[in-house]
């Protein structure tokens, strides 16, 4: 994203809305992921980088956060930029960063994503988890859980439990009494528990109301096609600040239900539309393409059939899947993603293989799909 261009364009101030997240398990830092009552399993995760707080990259993030703070001056009064001391900065993927800051001793957190910036409240006092000195100061739709940590906790763990009982658990990044945990599950409307070592069981009270701006410098995406209209409606209901940045990709549908993968330069999301409503899940993966076909970890069904979906190398045009019993399926391929529906009653993807072809029918890949 080009912040120089962003400054020359009007930006929309927003108060982040709560957003429902359905049964898609997304990538995060080193974590245990649980699907309903199934035993926990270790999930594929992208690289989460801890940045040097005196680096140019962190300085640029602070400058961007300060520009946001100035735009919010009629809603919240933030300390002057000269008083901001970065304590911790964590980066996931190419365009997601959370910076933990102290201003005159008080904590401040800033999350930046491709389409917007979110700041924690400058005036709110911590609401501590029972029996602890740990409190959330910022939780977001993009999955950030950040706040102050009990000084007696050298190894803090966080669990985010979705309303459909999918959860992700991992170790927070800590420094100078502050913590950041990138869950990649919406942490706004879901249950968050914390603890030191072992099993995090202590309920974490909700973070105070954050503030943010949406940056429209990333061009508006397809909303004219059927999939684009469905995706736009889905995102609009979710409170996702990156709404204009997502383009529809591979899609599957059955019995008036559909799953639409969505892409932007930061990663892959998904919209699931079922009888009970539409729900958008940002950043199922922080990768936009892969060296070979890769499955996304999800437990969604469409029309009663299990979805298999993932990311592809650039230039992929056609994909055929073969199940362990020899059954073949043609996947929908679009924008370096794929999606397909397994036959009714089939949920096991072990032994599945893929054949991938490019625009000129050249074979790009033949082998297992994992």
Per-residue pLDDT at 28: 28
Does 186 lie in the same domain as 47?
A: yes
242 has pLDDT over 60: no
Does 168 lie in the same domain as 230?
A: no
310, β-bridge pairs: 295, 338
> Is 6 exposed, middle or buried (CB count within 10 Å of its CB: 0-12, 13-18, 19+)?
middle
141 has pLDDT over 90: no
Residues 6+ apart with CB under 8 A from 367: 292, 353, 354
CA 262 to CA 284: how far, in whole Å?
Answer: 9
Does 99 lie in the same domain as 25?
A: yes
More confident residue, 3 or 240: 240
Does 104 lie in the same domain as 20?
A: yes
Cβ atoms of 242 and 19 within 8 Å: the answer is: no
Tokens of 296: 């996304």
Residue 329 lies in a domain: yes
Element (H, E) at 233: helix 226-238
Q: How many other C-beta atoms can be found within 10 angstroms of the C-beta atom of residue 110?
A: 29
Does 261 lie in the same domain as 205?
A: no
CA 271 to CA 273: how far, in whole Å?
Answer: 6
Q: Give CA separation, 331 vs 32, 298, 316, 337, in Å.
A: 29, 16, 11, 10
DSSP class of residue 346 equals -
DSSP class of residue 125 equals P
26 has pLDDT over 90: no
Per-residue pLDDT at 16: 42
Per-residue pLDDT at 284: 77
Residues 6+ apart with CB under 8 A from 80: none
| CA nearest neighbour of 171 among 196, 152, 138 | 196
With a pLDDT cut of 70, the percent of the chain lying above it is 77
Does 348 lie in the same domain as 300?
A: yes
Q: How many distinct structural domains can be found in the chain?
A: 2
Per-residue pLDDT at 1: 35
- Residue 47 binned pLDDT confidence (cut-offs 50, 70, 90): low
- Residue 35 binned pLDDT confidence (cut-offs 50, 70, 90): very low
Residue 326 lies in a domain: yes
Does 352 lie in the same domain as 233?
A: yes
Residue 122 lies in a domain: yes
CA 139 to CA 146: how far, in whole Å?
Answer: 6
Residue 218 lies in a domain: no
Residue 263 lies in a domain: yes
CA 96 to CA 117: how far, in whole Å?
Answer: 10
Tokens of 335: 């924008």
| SS3 call for 227 | helix
Cβ atoms of 97 and 51 within 8 Å: the answer is: yes
Does 230 lie in the same domain as 209?
A: no
| CA nearest neighbour of 22 among 307, 323, 321 | 307
Residue 221 lies in a domain: no
**In 78-210, which ranges are E strands?**
84-92, 97-103, 106-113, 116-119, 135-139, 144-148, 156-161, 166-171, 173-175, 178-182, 191-196, 202-203
Does 360 lie in the same domain as 339?
A: yes
Tokens of 302: 């469409």
Per-residue pLDDT at 216: 46
**DSSP characters for 243-300?**
GGG-EEEEEEEETTEEEEEEEETTEEEEEEEETTEEEEEEEEES-S--SS-EE--B--
CA 261 to CA 245: how far, in whole Å?
Answer: 13
Tokens of 74: 């009629």
Domain end residue (candidates: 213, 244, 260):
213
102-108 average pLDDT score: 95
Domain end residue (candidates: 172, 189, 213):
213
Per-residue model confidence as pLDDT tens digits over 10-24:
333 444 433 222 222
CA 191 to CA 329: how far, in whole Å?
Answer: 37
Does 156 lie in the same domain as 300?
A: no
Per-residue model confidence as pLDDT tens digits over 255-284:
999 999 998 766 788 999 888 888 888 767
Report the sign of the C-alpha dihedral through residues 297, 300, 306, 308, in that order.
negative
Does 40 lie in the same domain as 175?
A: yes
Per-residue model confidence as pLDDT tens digits over 324-347:
999 999 999 998 999 999 999 998
149 has pLDDT over 70: yes
Residue 219 lies in a domain: no
Map tokens 């209209």 to a residue.
Answer: 229
Residue 160 lies in a domain: yes
Per-residue pLDDT at 19: 29
Per-residue pLDDT at 285: 77
Domain end residue (candidates: 187, 213, 239):
213
Does 251 lie in the same domain as 209?
A: no
9 has pLDDT over 50: no
Residues 6+ apart with CB under 8 A from 56: none
Tokens of 207: 């973070």
CA 167 to CA 169: how far, in whole Å?
Answer: 7
CA 115 to CA 12: how far, in whole Å?
Answer: 11
* Structural domain of 274: 226-368
């Amino acid at each position: 994203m080009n912040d120089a261009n962003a400054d020359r364009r009007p930006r929309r101030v927003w108060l982040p809305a709560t957003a429902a997240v359905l049964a898609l398990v997304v990538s995060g830092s080193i974590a245990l992921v649980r699907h309903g009552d199934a035993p926990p399993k270790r999930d594929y995760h992208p690289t989460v980088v801890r940045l040097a707080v005196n680096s140019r990259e962190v300085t640029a993030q602070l400058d961007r956060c300060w520009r946001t703070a100035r735009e919010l001056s009629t809603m919240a009064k933030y300390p002057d930029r000269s008083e901001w001391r970065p304590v911790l900065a964590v980066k996931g993927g190419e365009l997601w960063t959370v910076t933990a800051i102290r201003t005159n001793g008080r904590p401040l957190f800033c999350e930046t994503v491709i389409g917007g910036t979110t700041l924690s409240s400058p005036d709110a006092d911590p609401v501590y988890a029972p029996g602890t000195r740990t409190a959330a100061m910022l939780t977001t739709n993009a999955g950030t859980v950040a706040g102050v940590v009990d000084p007696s906790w050298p190894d803090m763990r966080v669990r985010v439990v979705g309303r459909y009982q999918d959860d992700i658990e991992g170790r927070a990044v800590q420094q100078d009494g502050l913590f950041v945990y990138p869950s990649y599950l919406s942490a706004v409307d879901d249950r968050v528990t914390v603890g030191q070592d072992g099993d995090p069981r202590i309920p974490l009270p909700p973070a105070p109301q954050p503030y943010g701006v949406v940056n429209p410098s990333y061009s508006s995406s397809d909303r004219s096609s059927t999939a684009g209209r469905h995706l736009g409606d889905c995102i609009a209901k979710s409170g996702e600040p990156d709404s204009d940045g997502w383009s529809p990709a591979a899609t599957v549908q059955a019995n008036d239900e559909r799953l639409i993968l969505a892409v932007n330069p930061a990663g892959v999301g998904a919209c699931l539309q079922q009888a009970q409503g539409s729900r958008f899940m940002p950043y199922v993966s922080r990768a936009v393409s892969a060296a070979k076909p890769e499955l996304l970890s999800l437990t969604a069904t469409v029309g009663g059939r299990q979805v298999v979906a993932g990311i592809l190398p650039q230039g992929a045009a056609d994909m055929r899947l073969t199940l362990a019993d020899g059954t073949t399926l043609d996947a929908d391929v679009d924008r370096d993603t794929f999606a397909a529906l397994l036959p009714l009653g089939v949920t096991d993807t072990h032994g599945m293989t893929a054949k991938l072809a490019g625009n000129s029918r050249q074979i790009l890949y033949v082998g297992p799909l994992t």
